[in-house]
Amino acid sequence: MRGEPNTHTSACPELFAHIITALFYVLRILPAVEMHSALTSLDLSRDPSRAHHEGGLEAEHIQLLVGVLPNSSVQHLSLAFNRVGDAGAEIIADALASLSLTSLDLDTTGINNKGGKFFAAALEKNDSDLETINFSHNNVGGAADELISAAKKNSKLKTVGDEGTTLGRRAPSGSEPALRSILKGQCATSEWSDWSECPDKCGPGGKKSRSRKVLHMPHSKHGLKTCPQTLEQAKVCPDPCDSTGKPKLGSTVHQKEERARLASEAAAKQTAEETAAAAEQARITAEVAAAEQAAEDEAAAVKQARVEADEAAAAAAAEEEEKAAAHLAAKEKTEEEGELLGNY
């Protein structure tokens, strides 16, 4: 929801602009906020080109707006490029705990040291739902450290400054100095990257470089500190080889060759270890197979001996039976012959 009344007039322009703006927000916008309970985002930002002109929302209008916001579902509020000032900042800061806001855009709203202190005190209480608050292109001066300290203590706040600079438990290295610059209306750059490595080939003329990037560009036309022009640096690297073309000890070429040599040795060692492990595994497998075969052969021999012993015992038993039968037959014959002789 974006809108601003026409404040161009030839008679008493400043007074007329204030009256028209106040009436517009009281009669049109504020009732709409109360009536539309499903409204979650409210954009009252001005045209950036008019940020430093008369008109727009000021403290008295902020007071009216804050009066209806607690009865709404608005979570995202943008007041960017309005003349909020320190007085409006105090009103908003005092009301934060009663609002449902999760994001608040105060880009270029004329908030200075005093307003920064109001927000620092409110954020330190840790009783609002704010996750993001944009202070870009303001200059809170000495209150920057207080805001940073309060933001660190706030358990919900994730972003302070602008979208490119975060602060909190998950903030990347270098965020705090950049955020301090943003809060003071200054240019903010990232830390210099590490130097790149020098070329790993013989010959003069190689270079290494490092870079940084602009995280926040202030409005230089309004007297704020501009960003540095140097975002990249380069250095000439010494020739890594001597006059004979042999790499110098410790040079990039020498280090590359040394890394290749070590990698080759490591690969050869790994291959030898793998070959030895495979040979050992084969030996163990062969020994296990031989042991299993010997056990099988021994079991077969025992079984065969048992069969042969059983057969021999059976044959001996049969022979004894035959002898017993022959003896019995001879005895019976002798007895018969004796009886015949007795009859004569």
The residue type found at 102 is: T
Assigned token pair, 190: 């990232």
274, 278, 281, 286 alpha-carbon torsion, rounded to 10°: -170
Confidence of residue 185 (pLDDT cuts 50, 70, 90): low
Q: Where along the chain do its domains lie?
A: 13-185
Helices then strands, counting H and E runs in the chain, come out as 8, 9
Higher pLDDT, 336 or 215: 336
CA distance 29 to 234: 55
Mean pLDDT of 125-151: 82
Confidence of residue 201 (pLDDT cuts 50, 70, 90): confident
Confidence of residue 178 (pLDDT cuts 50, 70, 90): low
pLDDT higher than 50, residue 37:
yes
Mean pLDDT of 222-231: 64
The model scores a pTM over 0.75: no
Contacts of 240 (CB under 8 A, 6+ apart): 198, 199, 200, 201, 202, 206, 247, 248, 251, 252, 253, 254
203-212 per-position pLDDT tens digit = 777 888 999 8
Mean pLDDT of 97-113: 89
Angle at 291 between CA 288 and CA 294, to 5 degrees: 150
Higher pLDDT, 23 or 164: 23
Mean pLDDT of 321-344: 82
Q: 30 phi and psi, to 5 degrees?
A: -65, -45
Mean pLDDT of 253-278: 89
Q: Does domain 13-185 have CATH number 3.30.230.10?
A: no
Contacts of 334 (CB under 8 A, 6+ apart): none
Going by C-alpha positions, the residue among 204, 197, 209, 208 that lies closest to residue 239 is 204
Higher pLDDT, 106 or 171: 106
CB atoms < 10 A from the CB of 239, how many?
18
Reported residue count of the chain is: 344
In the DSSP assignment, the letter for residue 193 is P
Mean pLDDT of 44-64: 80
